[in-house]
Amino acid sequence: MIANPQYLNPEDYLELEAESSIKHEYINGRVFAMAGSTDTHNVIIGNLFVEIRSHLRGSGCQTYFTDIKARLEERNRYYYPDLLVTCDPRDQETSTYKRFSKLIIEVLSDSTEAFDRGDKFLDYQTLPSLEEYVLVNTKQQRVEIFRRAERGLWLLQSYYPPEPIELQSLDLRVEFAELYADVVLEDVTSETELEN
């Protein structure tokens, strides 16, 4: 992400973002240009969108990916999650951002993984509506799901094939074969191979 040092209030950010050809995330008055994504990233998000959208059809819940922002009022942030689900009718009041996400999914990349696991996850935790935060790996078939538990704790469950991935917030099981269908995993070169 590339930072713009000029301070913007949220209203100005939303106005500029509506006209921009480049997506920017907003963090407490500063905007950050987002990097592009890869084939792997896009295919995974597409696969997830199809699975989740089919499951939720007619439920009143909506599934959004890539171009809809998550608004985090308590932290004064707007992020573009890879995929989000909202079941709150109040989210129908805004067309470019949602405030009541139930599920947020991020597909990891080298450039965003630390942020997705760290500060961004801490920011997402301020959403009272959020039940699950999902991280999908692009180098191996692995999914990590953080679930909100009692007293503000978040519990982590990792999934590997052949067990299905359980999105408890949606009462949905996704098979790894569906999630990673037509995906070429990104190349992982071990440190030992680099040293030789």
Task: List CB contacts of 124: < 8 A, sequence separation 6 or more.
Answer: 70, 72, 79, 101, 104, 130, 133
Domain 37-185 maps to which CATH number in 3.90.1570.10, 3.10.450.50, 3.30.450.20, 3.50.50.60?
3.90.1570.10
Task: List CB contacts of 135: < 8 A, sequence separation 6 or more.
Answer: 105, 106, 107, 108, 116, 117, 143, 144, 145, 146
Residues 150-169: what's their mean pLDDT?
Answer: 96
Encode pLDDT of 35-91 as tens digits: 888 999 999 999 999 999 999 999 999 999 989 999 999 999 999 999 999 999 999
For the chain, what are the domain ranges? 1-34, 37-185
Encode pLDDT of 171-184 as tens digits: 999 999 999 999 99
Give pLDDT, residue 190.
45
d(CA 8, CA 5): 9
**Does residue 3 register a pLDDT over 60?**
no
Say if CB 34 and CB 22 are below 8 A apart.
yes
**Residue 147 half-sphere exposure toward CB, CA atoms < 13 A:** 12
d(CA 24, CA 5): 13
Strands of 2-4's sheet, edge to edge? 2-4, 30-33, 24-27, 77-79, 69-72, 97-98
DSSP character for 35? P
d(CA 92, CA 94): 6
Helix, strand or coil, per DSSP, at residue 128: coil
Give pLDDT, residue 192.
40
DSSP character for 34? P
Give pLDDT, residue 1.
47
Share of the chain above pLDDT 70, in %: 93
**Does residue 6 register a pLDDT over 90?**
no
Give pLDDT, residue 188.
66
Torsion of CA 53, 57, 62, 64, to 10 degrees: 20
Encode pLDDT of 82-122 as tens digits: 999 999 999 999 999 999 999 999 999 998 999 999 999 99
What is the widest separation between alpha-carbon atoms in the chain? 57
**Does residue 143 register a pLDDT over 80?**
yes
In 10 A of CB 34, how many CB atoms? 16
pTM exceeds 0.75 for this model:
yes
pLDDT averaged over every residue in the chain = 92
**Does residue 196 register a pLDDT over 60?**
no
